[in-house]
Structure 1
């Protein structure tokens, strides 16, 4: 994997920020976009901008072919059984809300259980809180181990015959914990429950096979996997989606409309009301082409090298606390003694280094960690070891700066 050649495809990386070369370490929030994706979206708007599924004219046919072609690329990328199982959404948040609203509220009743973890992103907590309030279901949380992992024994003890839904992240956006989804799904299915997987931090970084995982629903966003913002995917098993009602109504998703009743299109279109996110889907298709050209195994291996190196560099800096297990995805969440994470991010930004600071939309996890906020550096296929060196040097400067301030 030639990272120097890969970086040439990302024009945004070739710039200075605050007089220093940009070191972008915030890909867990959103990834940068390669020329291949930018040009694919530009080509759609310049050459064949048209609505899909409606017109028989040439531009409409080109747009429909590109839009549905992107759906097939997604199907293949995550190894779904059919394109009918691929729903385009606005992103992971919309996808999870769709499951909570359509599936959750139709199957849950008073006394049923929804099982979560404390490491969930707010987007995989709040929809279930609202669903529980509406149905009388109860929220339960799988306990976490000291290092931020889950014990399968705890999973077995938490999921019961009353559990109907297990909603869980595949990879924690804070700890980098990689949860054993296949094993958890097997336990859930043993009790008749379905699994809803937040795959936002998984699909960009490692191979995903939803059939092997056997999960029932899987959600992710394009913008974290070198694709455009504003589009994501809900994968759902066909037999479940067929029995679910749409949550948005209007054009595109109907079969027949009468004055007093209507019928819906077949899957996947019954869930895609209104003019869909055409340019976004085309951009997502181009992003998948890009990632597959690089190779997901190559990306995973490169990120492992980066995060292992970064962990070793941070161990050399006194006063830094890192959070999460030894085996982790490509990110490090940390704090510097006596320095607020926002101050850390501000000083690093003055050095041209972009990291995230705050609660990372994971306030229950912050409470579990007994902190109000943390800083996070997250890595991707375009990052280099030299950038991690610059990051480590930036942390030392941060410590020195605040040491001088409080001396």
Structure 2
């Protein structure tokens, strides 16, 4: 059945765009596979553009515009317009910039709103950013709210609702449209982290009514380890939100070397330092892997892949507890199963050539990047998981020893 599904897969052609490793790789939700074109694209930037054309490449090869030029291929993947997006910095820095901007906006200052609402079990980086802002911006309060109580937590004290679309442990999705509307109803802004969504799901920031968003470039977008991140500011908000970390690349006239900061129009004002050109060359190769691919097809395949994997594991490994939503529409492109010895089981799987990952305290997490993953991979992984469990291979003391030092 899996091979028949692969033969009929409308995205099957995209797998050839990647340097696929031996075995089965189900960790694209942590680091995407390397695009085949990435090495040549980065080499051209290093050897020809930097090596031969040196500083003239800022204009000759358009380096200066890459943070906004690369918004174009990203736009359709996140359901926004290119003039609402830019590539800059890291996810954490972009979260900080947008969250502080929301708190310092005219609406936030005038109304005295100083509360950030976030989920109690949000991704740790997002929580750390919120905590850090509360120490930097006087009077800010961070409220950690249970998932089921988020809508009810919206009040006229709230300046910002700050959440991650897809939970990094279970893969459970938030209803972005409903929660963004709940924030908007009380006059608050919404800020969404799409790091575990963009490139795997049919993201629709404009349609959902999200105000602000960020995402990383190295997971499903295949931009390479440590790739720059992106940020989104709804067009209607751009005139009234200012970058709290201004730098010369966000200046209206950076090469005038004016001693007084004047923000550029549009998304360029969200740039701070010099663009990381070599890293953005890899991002360009990652975004090129989506050429000819519709976001709806990504989500459809992610749902089908995870559905097949859940069914195969349930049939072979009844001892494992599903720790992800059962309905495909409620989860991202990942599946988690719980087991007290999850870490050792994942290590035993990796030794057999099936790469997933572990999340404390007891989760085995498997990511299904729709562009590069086959249906056959889902079956092979389930078979390997069953083999590890039935053989007791995970009881090898070496796996427990590694757990103690990682």
State the TM bucket, normalised to the shorter chain: 0.7 to 0.9
- Equivalent residue of 2:61, what SS? helix
Given that residues 3 and 383 in structure 1 are in contact (C-alpha distance below 8 angstroms), is that contact kept between their aligned partners in structure 2?
no
Match status 1:124 vs 2:114? no
Is there any run of 5+ residues in structure 1 with no aligned partner, and where?
16-21, 145-149, 360-371
Pair 1:214 & 2:217 matched: no
Matches within 5 A, 1:3-18: 5-11=13-19, 13-15=20-22
Tell me if the contact between 2:169 and 2:359 (Cα under 8 Å) persists in the aligned partners.
no
Residues 337 and 365 in structure 2, CA contact (< 8 A), matched pair in contact too: yes
In structure 1, how many angstroms separate the alpha carbons of the residues matched to 2:52 and 2:337?
46
Which residue pairs with 1:367 in the alignment? none
Shift of 1:247: 4.1
Q: Residues 195-227 of structure 1, C-alpha deviation per residue, up to 9 Å, x if partnerless?
A: 000111111112223221121111111211122
Contact 1:3 1:384 in 2 (8 A): no
- Per-residue CA deviation, residues 292-334 of structure 1 (Å, 9 max, x unaligned), is 4233222222211111111112212132112122122221111
Alignment partners' CA distance in 1, 2:394 and 2:207: 54
Secondary structure of the residue aligned to 1:223 is: coil
Note closer, same or farther for the CA distance 1:344–1:211 as it changes in structure 2 (3 Å cut).
same
Instruction: Pick the structure with more strand per residue.
Output: 1
Q: Is the 8 A contact 2:99 2:191 kept in 1?
A: no
Q: Which residue of 2 aligns with 1:296?
A: 295
Match of 1:263, SS?
coil
Separation (CA, whole Å) in 2 of partners of 1:404 and 1:389: 20
- In the alignment, does 2:380 pair up with 1:377? no
TM-score, normalised with respect to structure 2: 0.81
**Residues 204-262 of structure 1: per-residue CA shift (max 9 Å, x gap):** 11222322112111111121112233211110124544444434454433335456x44
Structure 2 partner of 1:113: 115
| Matching residue of 2:138 | 135
The superposition leaves residues 31-86 of structure 1 with CA deviations (integer Å, 9 ceiling, x where unpaired) of 1122234433333233323999x97x466232348724313333454343452x32
Structure 2 equivalent of residue 396 of structure 1: 386
CA distance in 1, matches of 2:274, 2:394: 57
Q: CA deviation at 1:123?
A: 2.1
CA RMSD of aligned residues (A): 3.0
Could you tell me how far apart the structure 1 residues matched to 2:169 and 2:289 are?
26
Pairing 1:33–2:34 present = yes
Q: Structure 2 regions of 5+ residues with no counterpart?
A: 1-8, 397-406
Q: TM-score, normalised by structure 1?
A: 0.81
**Alignment coverage as a number of residue pairs:** 373
